[in-house]
Structure 1
Amino acid sequence: MAANRAVVIGAGVGGLTAAAALHRRGWRVTVLERAARLEPVGAGISLAPNGLRALDVIGAGDAARARTAWHTEGGLRTPSGRWLSRTSNQAAAERFGGPLVLLHRAELIELLARALPDGAVRTGAPAEVTDPGAAGRPATVRTDGGPYDDGVEAGLVVAADGIHSAARRALFPHHPEPRYAGFTTWRFVVPAPAGAEVLPHETWGRGLGWGSQPLPDVRVYAYASAAVPAGERVPDSEHAELRRLFGGWHDPVPALLDAVAPESVLRTDVYETAAPLPAYHHGRVALLGDAAHPMTPSLGQGGNQAAEDAVVLAHHAPPGAADLAAYTADRLPRTMRVVRRSGSAARAVTVRSAAGCALRDAAAVAVNRLGPRLVLRALDGIADWSPPQRTYAAGTQQPAS
């Protein structure tokens, strides 16, 4: 029956969390993923206490918490290695009621996929919304070369198809597209170099940033950023560019660059919301995650906000009677605040002038003198979020998808 069918476009963090939450709510869920296999793009992903609480709704929070690898002190450094500020996961847990967890994105995708019934995810199925539906009419989704070439009707469609969302363009064709945030990023995962001490840290230079974060399986997730024009690419390799930009920075940065294979370095230009959407829904279609509110990675909140979206959407969506206006009212103001705060954090890293960097670093030192926990204040009002009261019971018998 179309009224109780939910179709999710996109099998990323937001799409899979939404599918699992809606499945627990009682919807018959199908996830349509463009890629031929669930091979997530990216390397590491940070889960803050708010994202972990969202995962609790689908029974996956504790499994993610068990993968935490941050058991030592970490913080912010200069390219020479001097510490500007320090903090710890214990301080984060005391401040926000839970730890910060960093794991490989593939692990998280696998964890989320296990929360769905067999056959719920259809890969190799690029999908488009051909009719958003209305109060008296189901939405229609069509796949190109997939299982629904002739279209499938649904009482709810969840568009979780990323930053350059085709669904968003279809629903709001005259709305500004996401804008370039002014910097590009590189990411890779490598085994921890022998003899190298890798403490969780970020390092800020002049228009450059680096982060090294240990993963729970004795690997290290490394990421870097540079304030460069959009679309810029180097003539040799991204690995060579990382060596030029960061090869002289403090340990363990050179050792990590030595350990990575050139083909394993991922580069992605960063885009953010240019203007808030008028709503996160139209007809029977709901947008979530990057499709609704792309943001810079500077606060590590992209995946966390997508997970929040997912469980709030399910909260407002009893089968056949989704209240998408309530979903928009709950999510649009909060996510746009996070977009703005993430953009402000990004501007601190992309400062290029010597004077500006000196002022930025002095401010970080001053904050550290007041107390190491204060360096976590960027996540105040974000990481302490909790999901709305559940209107359905986890672990109850669910309909087949």
Structure 2
Amino acid sequence: MGRTAVVVGGGIGGLAVAIGLRRVGWEVTVVERTRVLDDAGAGISLAANGLRALDALGVGAQVRAAARGQYTGGTRTPQGAWLARMDGAALERALGTPIVGIPRAALHALLRAELPPECLVPGARMTALDRSAPGRVRVAYEHDDGRPDEAEPDLVVGADGIGSGTRALLFPDHPGPAHSGSTVLRALTKGPVEAGSDFEITWGRGTEFGHIALTDGRAEWHAVLNSPAGLRYPNPLAEMRRRFAGWHEPIPALLDATDPNDVLHHDIGELADPLPSFVAGRVALLGDAAHAMTPHLGQGACQALEDAVVLAARISEGPDVARALARYDAERRPRAQGVAAAARQAGRMGQQLAHPVAVALRNTALRLAPSGVAVRMILQHAAWTPPRLPGC
């Protein structure tokens, strides 16, 4: 029998690490608390580092075929004036690939398709994690019909998101996620819509509206607002129409093309206090469980995909799980926590700015910045080369 792993969480990061571990010869079980394995969300942008991670996992070509490259667009004011233009072609020349946009559900489905159905256990939640015996770890979980189950794998990966129960068990004194000060509403349009460009964000005062054009003609839109945690609206779409009344096209058209029942609303949390480690014994944390960050750099999923590839690569090197995980932690923690800090700063200098003088200064700085500044900022985080997985 080969070496075994239990992955707690069946989101993008959890599925990606399951693919990676299987490619290096491990048997994997993915335990996911929701009954339906379908990543909730609207759309997602993937930069070069995320796509290279998917290439290393053997699924990059499939994702590119389902995604749309982001070549046109940029950053605007609510009146429609351009603050900065996107140069997707320059990014492609520098990195070998453009940023792409894809529905989250489509990306999730492509990752699921790489795994045999028997390794996916939906409708089950982890109830205990026992690391008391040296060199061993025991995981207990309960199915949604109340049936208990357990496993004693060689490795456990906590990929269970920002509210990670795995992280809470490993680091009970850590304060956990904090509210970032922002909330996000988002949706996919019902059908094709004229989006005008591949990707745009528009900055107001403490407000951002953005869109991603998709291959089938639909678009994803998101609205990020300064907001206390827990604030909700009786009619979210009507509130968005009120908030963005008078903003430039295609914002009104995107809202008009949206079914009110499709609008998602989530407060944005982050691990403002960095974890002291991503590992403990034979247990590793990955993605939001390890380094939940704000979305202001579009790097959350990309960093989870990097985690998945590096974890699988280091595990494949041996000689034992604990030392492999120590290498994973040493490689991933500085980078992921650095990107998280940069995302927080980008939000403070971008979407979260609300004072009119600060907004005016930011806008002036963007207008005057040389055209290559935005490309260099993206390259700073996206220029990453994955390790090669054996057999891939």
Q: TM-score range by the shorter chain?
A: over 0.9
Aligned partner of 1:207 in structure 2 is 206
Aligned partner of 1:361 in structure 2 is 363
Aligned partner of 1:303 in structure 2 is 301
Q: Does 1:164 align with 2:163?
A: yes
Distance 1:265 1:50, change over 3 A: same
Give the counterpart letter for 1:180 in structure 2: H
Give the counterpart letter for 2:308 in structure 1: A
Give the counterpart letter for 1:329 in structure 2: A
2:335, 2:302 → 1: CA distance? 12
Aligned residue for 2:148, secondary structure, equals coil
Aligned residues: 388
Aligned partner of 1:397 in structure 2 is none
> Contact between 1:155 and 1:320, CA under 8 Å: does it hold in 2?
no
Please list, as runs of the form range in 1=range in 2, the aligned pairs for 1:1-400 lying within 5 A after superposition.
Answer: 1=1, 4-70=3-69, 72-132=71-131, 135-145=134-144, 149-191=148-190, 197-234=196-233, 236-318=234-316, 321-322=320-321, 323-347=324-348, 348-367=350-369, 370-371=370-371, 373-390=372-389, 392-394=390-392
Identity of aligned residues (%): 44
**C-alpha displacement at 1:46, in angstroms?**
1.1
Larger CA deviation: 254-263 vs 68-77? 68-77
> Contact between 2:143 and 2:149, CA under 8 Å: does it hold in 1?
no
CA-based RMSD of the aligned residues comes to: 1.9
> Contact between 1:138 and 1:284, CA under 8 Å: does it hold in 2?
yes
**Structure 2: segments with no counterpart, 5+ residues:** none
Distance 1:13 1:194, change over 3 A: closer
2:38, 2:72 → 1: CA distance? 32
**C-alpha displacement at 1:321, in angstroms?**
2.7
**C-alpha displacement at 1:125, in angstroms?**
1.1
1:115, 1:33 → 2: CA distance? 17
2:281, 2:142 → 1: CA distance? 19
Aligned residue for 1:126, secondary structure, equals strand
**Structure 1: segments with no counterpart, 5+ residues:** 395-401
Give the counterpart letter for 1:361 in structure 2: N
Give the counterpart letter for 1:328 in structure 2: D
1:255, 1:344 → 2: CA distance? 31
**C-alpha displacement at 1:129, in angstroms?**
3.9
> Contact between 1:84 and 1:361, CA under 8 Å: does it hold in 2?
yes
Q: Deviations over 1:164-220 (max 9, x none)?
A: 101100110001211111100011001456566344210000001000110111110
Aligned residue for 1:142, secondary structure, equals strand
Give the counterpart letter for 2:368 in structure 1: A
Give the counterpart letter for 1:387 in structure 2: P
Aligned residue for 1:210, secondary structure, equals strand
Q: Deviations over 1:206-265 (max 9, x none)?
A: 00100011011111010111101111122x211121111112210011111111111111
Give the counterpart letter for 1:358 in structure 2: A
> Contact between 1:133 and 1:284, CA under 8 Å: does it hold in 2?
no
Give the counterpart letter for 2:378 in structure 1: L
> Contact between 2:193 and 2:219, CA under 8 Å: does it hold in 1?
no
Aligned residue for 2:160, secondary structure, equals coil
**C-alpha displacement at 1:50, in angstroms?**
0.3
> Contact between 1:126 and 1:146, CA under 8 Å: does it hold in 2?
no
